[in-house]
Each structure stands twice: as structure tokens, then as C-alpha cells.
Amino acid sequence: TPSAVQKIKQLLKDKPEHVGVKVGVRTRGCNGLSYTLEYTKSKGDSDEEVVQDGIRIFIEKKAQLTLLGTEMDYVEDKLSSEFVFNNPNIKGTCGCGESFNI
């Protein structure tokens, strides 16, 4: 979303050695999987690259099918600010919202 693009641009402005952000999934949490998000200095050999409005997002190979069709947003309210993934592939989430299953 435009909000996520703006936040990533802002974050990368302070990290000139990084070329983008890498998104992945890891086995963890009470429901199976959770998202990972980290700065990256290069594109991995099997990463899928998405360029939107001048920012580069790299999707790890093992996360590509899990994230197919997912929208990444950045949401701020009075108590928190966070990246949110609107993933149409999710079958269920845990009560705390930290993990999901496909």
C-alpha cells in the first residue's frame, strides 16, 4: 500500500548500504508460521523481486507461494505502529495474531 511504501522509504533513507527489504515466513508461534521482515544489502539468488514506487521488496523463495496475493500495509494508531499483511491464503490465526496457518 502507499502507506507501506512511504514507511519503507523512510526506513531505508537512514540505511544507504541496504537496497531494500526482504520478506519471508518462519515456522514459529502457536499457529505455525509468522512473517519476517529485514533489511537486505542484495537480492538472493532465488528471491522474487517486487519494485513499487521506487522501493525494492525481496520475497524469499520458501515464502513465495505463502505470500501470493498478499498486500503489505503500514498501520499507525494511538498505541502501536506496524506492518500488516493482508494475506488471502490464511486459513487460521492464533489468538494473539502473531502466527497463522495456510
Residue 30 maps to a domain: yes
DSSP at 77: -
Residue 64 maps to a domain: yes
Question: Using one digit for the tens of pLDDT, what is the confidence trace for 6-34?
Answer: 999 999 998 999 999 999 988 876 657 78
- Going from the C-alpha of 31 to that of each of 68, 87, 89, the distances in angstroms are 19, 15, 14
What CATH number does the domain containing 28 carry? 2.60.300.12
Residue 98 maps to a domain: no
Residue 44 maps to a domain: yes
Domain coverage including residue 87: 2-92
Question: Using one digit for the tens of pLDDT, what is the confidence trace for 45-68?
Answer: 999 999 999 999 999 998 888 888
Confidence (pTM):
0.81
